[in-house]
Amino acid sequence: AQSVTQPDIHITVSEGASLELRCNYSYGATPYLFWYVQSPGQGLQLLLKYFSGDTLVQGIKGFEAEFKRSQSSFNLRKPSVHWSDAAEYFCAVGTTSGTYKYIFGTGTRLKVLA
């Protein structure tokens, strides 16, 4: 069955520290991969996406993610976290066979300490 796992429900980091949010997926074909951020009371904003090609993708707000096919992972990273990065982060898979749709992970809530 298709699924997306974000193992960390909550993560707390200090401002200026590095960040890595984990995402693993289960999908038979090569998926499209996305990271979204949801700030309190807001909709979802696309941070970055991977369709094909270079497995290290750059996104907005200084985020990057690396697709590792062998590990079925698409982890999100940021070298230095800012207080404004506190939000909920969702990894999503876009299915590439059959009816195209997203499967979302359960989300990781990031808290940033001053």
Partner 1 sequence: SAVISQKPSRDICQRGTSLTIQCQVDSQVTMMFWYRQQPGQSLTLIATANQGSEATYESGFVIDKFPISRPNLTFSTLTVSNMSPEDSSIYLCSVEQVSGNEQFFGPGTRLTVL
Nearest approach in angstroms of CB 80 to partner 1 is 26
Cβ(110)–Cβ(89) under 8 Å?
yes
Which residues, 6 or more positions from 84, have their beta carbon under 8 angstroms from its beta carbon? none
| Residues 72-111 close enough to bind partner 1 by CB under 8 A | 90, 94, 99-102, 104-107
Measured distance CA(31)–CA(52) in Å, rounded = 9
Measured distance CA(107)–CA(39) in Å, rounded = 12
- Candidates 13, 19, 44, 86; binder of partner 1 (CB under 8 A) is 44
Which stretch, 12-20, 40-48, 67-75, 79-87, contacts partner 1 (CB under 8 A)? Answer: 40-48
Nearest approach in angstroms of CB 16 to partner 1 is 28
Nearer to partner 1, 17 or 60 (CB): 60
Measured distance CA(29)–CA(57) in Å, rounded = 20
Amino acid (1-letter code) at residue 97 = S
Residues that bind partner 1 (CB under 8 A): 32, 34, 36, 42-46, 49, 51, 90, 94, 99-102, 104-107
